[in-house]
């Protein structure tokens, strides 16, 4: 076969593959791609490639991540919520980390994960970790991916692809935990920035970021609110005076932000033509799991499975010296900050098929079919 014929064969083969793929996009049979933005709750390994104190690419993380049971950079024992939702939406593989060298070419046509442990809505959030990819930078990275897709399949087909794809944004927890609530920020300093002012700054910034995502042709966008951060083992151990209860002030901050966020979602849907922003009430779901843990099959609602120090295992990050519980399915929390695979499965299921109390104005299955 001549070199010219080789090129014709390769070009024809690739054209056929792209054509079949785009037929799936246009036919609406399934969600063609998943693009994930967020923090350590959905990071699948981006922080492996940057200089940062926030990493999870070491044991015992990934102990239940099949088939290899090895750490990947996910901050949990198994799968993230984004992994589970992607599979339920019909995607064979999880969206790969943007910074992985293999995330290029045709791979990006099924989605990319831009999330970064320590990242936040505000650019200064997470600076105690050094390297992290905040939401502004994640959006820059998506803009690069979008341009790569345009170069590959052209502008019209890229718009079809993106406007049928699933986008999720899981941000805000770090802006409280690793910014406003960090122990190095004294109460005296917080008097100059009231909780209302801080939440105001977050919402103002988030409005610009979510609008930018829309302007980059995202249409089906799930925005996850901030969970009950006062209930995580880290906050419980940091505030022993709360006893066996969740810590009130962090949860009050989360509730305040979430109320404003739900209003922002309504505003964006009203003002941006063709937009389908969805508000995912993970705060409500996780609090329900904590308050009714035994009915969900859990034995511990407050302690970390990966435990090194502190009454609740919240004082030292999960790592090789940590003790790991024998049955991870019995713990809501994997480590000081993050849910276990078992918790993530419950959360993902309720976001996928829940009613408007869990996810508003529609659930993810309805969004995918819209």
State the residue range of the domain holding 138.
Answer: 32-369
Number of domains in the chain: 1
Contact present, 230 and 249 (Cβ < 8 Å) = yes
Are the C-beta atoms of residues 253 and 261 closer than 8 Å to each other?
A: no
Respond yes or no: is residue 288 known to be catalytic. no
**Active-site residue (options: 34, 39, 40, 175):** 40
Phi, psi of 78, rounded to the nearest 5 degrees: -140, -110
Is 7 among the domain residues? no
237: annotated active-site residue: no
Q: How confident is the model at residue 22 (pLDDT cuts 50, 70, 90)?
A: very low
Give me the pLDDT at residue 78, please.
Answer: 98
Q: What is the pLDDT of residues 332-356, one digit of tens each?
A: 999 999 999 999 999 999 999 999 9
Summarize the confidence of residues 197-211 as an average pLDDT.
Answer: 98
**Nearest-CA neighbor of 329 among 287, 289, 299, 292?**
299
Give the active site residue among 237, 281, 335, 341. 335
The answer, yes or no, to whether the previous bond of 67 is cis (omega within 30 of 0) is yes
240 within some domain: yes
pLDDT band at 8 (very low <50, low <70, confident <90, very high): very low
Q: How far apart are CA 82 and CA 227, in angstroms?
A: 16
Compute the average pLDDT of residues 111-131.
97
CATH label of the domain that carries residue 113: 3.40.50.1110
DSSP bridge pairs for 223: 169, 279
Whether residue 13 is contained in a domain is answered as no
Residue 5 in domain: no
- Is residue 139 one of the residues assigned to a domain? yes
Our answer to whether residue 338 is catalytic in this structure is yes
pTM comes to 0.92
Q: Which of 168, 338, 340, 341 is catalytic?
A: 338
CA dist., res. 230 & res. 249, Å (int): 7
pLDDT band at 15 (very low <50, low <70, confident <90, very high): very low
Residue 292 lies in a domain: yes
**Domain contains 92:** yes
Domain assignment of residue 358, yes or no: yes
């Amino acid at each position: 076969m001549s070199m010219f014929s080789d090129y014709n064969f390769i070009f024809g083969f690739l054209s056929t593959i792209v054509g079949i793929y785009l037929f799936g996009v246009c036919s609406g049979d399934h969600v063609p791609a998943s693009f994930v933005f967020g923090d350590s709750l959905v990071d699948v390994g981006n922080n492996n490639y940057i200089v940062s104190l926030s990493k999870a690419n070491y044991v015992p993380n990934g102990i239940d991540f099949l088939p290899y049971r090895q750490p990947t950079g996910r901050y949990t024992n198994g799968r993230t919520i984004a992994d589970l939702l992607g599979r339920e939406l019909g995607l064979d593989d999880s969206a790969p980390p943007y910074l992985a060298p293999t995330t290029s070419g045709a791979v990006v046509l099924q989605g990319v994960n831009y999330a970064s442990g320590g990242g936040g809505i505000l650019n200064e959030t997470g600076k105690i970790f050094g390297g992290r990819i905040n939401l502004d930078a994640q959006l820059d990275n998506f803009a690069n991916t979008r341009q790569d897709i345009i170069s590959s399949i052209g502008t019209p087909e890229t718009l079809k692809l993106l406007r049928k794809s699933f986008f999720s944004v899981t941000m805000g927890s770090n802006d409280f935990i690793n910014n406003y609530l960090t122990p190095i920020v004294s109460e005296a300093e917080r008097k100059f920035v009231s909780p209302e002012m801080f939440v105001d700054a977050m919402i103002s910034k988030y409005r610009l970021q979510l609008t930018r995502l829309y302007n980059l042709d995202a249409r089906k966008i799930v925005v996850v609110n901030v969970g009950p951060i006062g209930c995580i083992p880290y906050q419980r151990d940091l505030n022993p005076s709360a006893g066996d209860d969740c810590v009130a002030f962090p949860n009050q901050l989360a509730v305040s932000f979430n109320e404003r966020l739900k209003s922002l979602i309504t505003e964006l849907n009203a003002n941006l033509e063709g937009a389908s922003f969805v508000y995912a009430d993970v705060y409500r779901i996780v609090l329900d799991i904590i308050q009714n843990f035994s009915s969900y099959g859990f034995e511990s609602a407050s302690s970390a499975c990966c435990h090194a120090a502190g009454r609740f295992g919240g004082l030292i990050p999960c790592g090789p010296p940590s003790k790991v519980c024998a049955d991870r399915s019995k713990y809501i929390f994997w480590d000081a900050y993050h849910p276990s695979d078992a918790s993530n499965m419950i959360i993902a299921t309720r976001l996928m098929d829940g009613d408007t109390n869990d996810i508003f104005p529609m659930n993810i299955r309805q969004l995918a079919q819209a």
